[in-house]
Chain A
């Protein structure tokens, strides 16, 4: 028998505590709920979440499927990473497509270049209903947004999928309780207490793979509303705009037509960690057009059932 002592068997640092807390939450929800699912976009946070889920149930297979809400406006590198990762961990992938919600007439196609961000909520709630999921794990973190900062780790959703910030269940100690009645569900956020920097430090420590677009590369971009958007199938330059070749990376991964790139030469994890530690703009502020609509954009979307 070979025994590998934990690197942290004597001192426990903040990453160890965050990691074990997340694993505890994953196990607790799986034990209490009938049909959990893990929301996996291929972004860094959901990659960390899936990595933790594999650890929580090793050496067994994941006791739940993973689901991607596909807006159809993805970066191809991210979809490739999604498929490779799901295959590597042997998970079952459910893909719910916003295009299907559009085809069924449930939401209106915003047209070419229009944001499908808000439409995802309908697709997500339908997929939760159709599959009878009663718990959905998400990689959201409280440091991302002021409405998320208010949300419980296990966040109750009524039969309409709504979050009511005035009626949250008290969440005492580590006694997470995920019991719901038929048609209701909980969202579970094991990374609630992680910051962007914690996520990157953990990715480095665990030597995790990520989509290539997180690392610095040369790309054709246009500057629009203060953000560099990548020219591609979902973004075409407007008449007044000049296409530039810049060295960029993505700090977050959302839809290709509303996720901005940041100018960066950080091509390794340690360079990214240095960059994140010194950043003076938040990751959503730097890169997400969808959060700039109003003061309470995230709260409003969450109330409707958004991630």
Chain B
């Protein structure tokens, strides 16, 4: 048996608590036979012990003791599934508002969001919040599983009402690909197997939609110029140096004209290596190392780029998801990590907080826990950035508490067009 080459699709589940995200993922994994017999036995045993029926599908991903006791998801669970042509990395995210930072962790690397909502309650505020965060994080494709269809007697009317709400919001948030599917995660209808309870629906199942979605959207959102943030300098035998980092934005080739930033030195790529072997080109996502013609003192935190060049600045207009326990205020000092560079940063201006219901900006001057707002930041050192919508790698950063080293915010350069 020769296993075929596979591509890789990363997806995150999003939506409000109790709408059935973990159950849907459990159903998907069970019905595609991704679970081993001993894992299924363990889930059945745990279900019986906690008195929640024969097989509580949410236990497939809710693996922590506290999660099983409380019947909720606290942190992201990563699960893996394979079909003949594709490997899936599934981030099953928590729905509670207090765990928004964990949801953002799961969604920040997703090509696609699998939105789960309860047909009876429609778009809750928390689902709107998650969709808004997913859109800000650059997710462009969503599959919406309208769940618990069994509880509304498989009513097309109930489904259509929710579809209208979703379509309106998806348009506002600029999603480019939207599939809306009526399902029962509990019973398995339209998850992997088509449902005979829904004769009025002839669209794809959740699995069909996942298999036909575009893989690698995360890596390929960038459309302008190649970028290589330098992580580490390697000394070559014979005295030369090469600069190691992951290529993004576009392929790099030997002979390409590049600019080293922020020093602004124009030069040429003289060699490319991967794992010590010479290569002629380095594609997006490759952890390569690059030799340059110019003698430079380049090091970690510098960036090698092809045109069009990124921006060099120490003042950034940004969108911030704030996870700190205390509010973020003007004048506050933190540490900022952007690509391979870490620098002190100060909050210069807070331009307001996003009102999730209206999708506009209010005039708040501080960000409370789990608020998303716009802020202007001033960094101690120059940063080399692209707008987040052009390049997710050079457009993203995190803020770090200087005392505890905790990550307290996710930041994006620029702001979404829907704001």
Chain A residues with a Cβ under 8 A of chain B: 1-6, 8-14, 16-21, 23-24, 27-28, 30-32, 54-60, 142-143, 145-147, 149-150, 152, 165-166, 168-175, 177, 179-181, 192-193, 195, 197-198, 201, 273-274, 277, 279-282, 285-286, 295-296, 299
Contacts and interface: CB of A to CB of B under 8 A. Distances in A.
Given A142-B80, A166-B74, 7 more contacts: A4-B278, A6-B277, A150-B64, A177-B337, A195-B80, A281-B36, A295-B46
B165 interface: no
A147 B64 contact: yes
Contact of A172 (B234, B275, B407): B407
Interface of B: 1, 3, 5-8, 36-39, 42, 45-46, 49, 61, 63-66, 68, 74-80, 82, 87, 89, 101-102, 104-105, 108-109, 231-232, 234-237, 244-246, 254, 273-281, 283-287, 300, 323, 337-338, 340, 342, 392-393, 396-398, 400, 404-407, 410
18 contacts: A6-B277, A9-B279, A18-B8, A20-B287, A24-B231, A58-B275, A59-B276, A142-B80, A146-B61, A149-B61, A169-B407, A171-B105, A172-B410, A173-B393, A174-B246, A177-B400, A195-B80, A295-B46
A172 B396 contact: yes
A17 B79 CA distance: 17
Nearest to A195: B80
A193 B400 contact: no
Contacts of B104: 170, 172
B63 A150 contact: yes
Nearest to A193: B89
Nearest to B288: A20
Nearest to B64: A165
A269 to B, nearest CB: 12
Contacts of A152: 105
B377 to A, nearest CB: 15
B8 A170 contact: no
Question: Which of B7, B63, B75, B79 neighbours the largest number of chain A CB atoms within 10 Å of its CB?
Answer: B63
* Chain A interface, >50% SS class: loop
A23 B89 CA distance: 19
A177 B66 CA distance: 27
A150 B64 CA distance: 8
Contacts of A280: 36-37
B219 to A, nearest CB: 8
Contacts of A201: 3
Contacts of B254: 3
Contacts of B79: 142-143, 149
Contacts of B323: 170
Contacts of A56: 244, 275, 287
Contacts of B280: 3, 5, 9
B28 to A, nearest CB: 15
Nearest to A278: B1
Contacts of A28: 231, 340
Nearest to B38: A285
A193 B36 contact: no
Contact of A17 (B8, B105, B392, B405): B8
B293 to A, nearest CB: 14
Contacts of A11: 5
A251 to B, nearest CB: 12
Contacts of A23: 275, 287
Contacts of B5: 11, 13-14
Given A31-B232, A142-B78, A281-B38, A173 B396 contact: yes
Nearest to A13: B5
B63 A149 contact: yes
A225 B259 CA distance: 64
B80 A143 contact: yes
Given A5-B279, A170-B407, A175 B337 contact: yes
A29 to B, nearest CB: 10
Contact of A14 (B8, B237, B277): B8
Contacts of B68: 295
A12 B285 contact: yes
A145 B42 CA distance: 11
A55 B276 contact: yes
Given A56-B287, A59-B237, A285-B36, A168 B42 contact: no
A3 B279 CA distance: 6
B340 to A, nearest CB: 7
Nearest to B236: A59
Contact of B77 (A3, A146, A173): A146
A18 B8 CA distance: 9
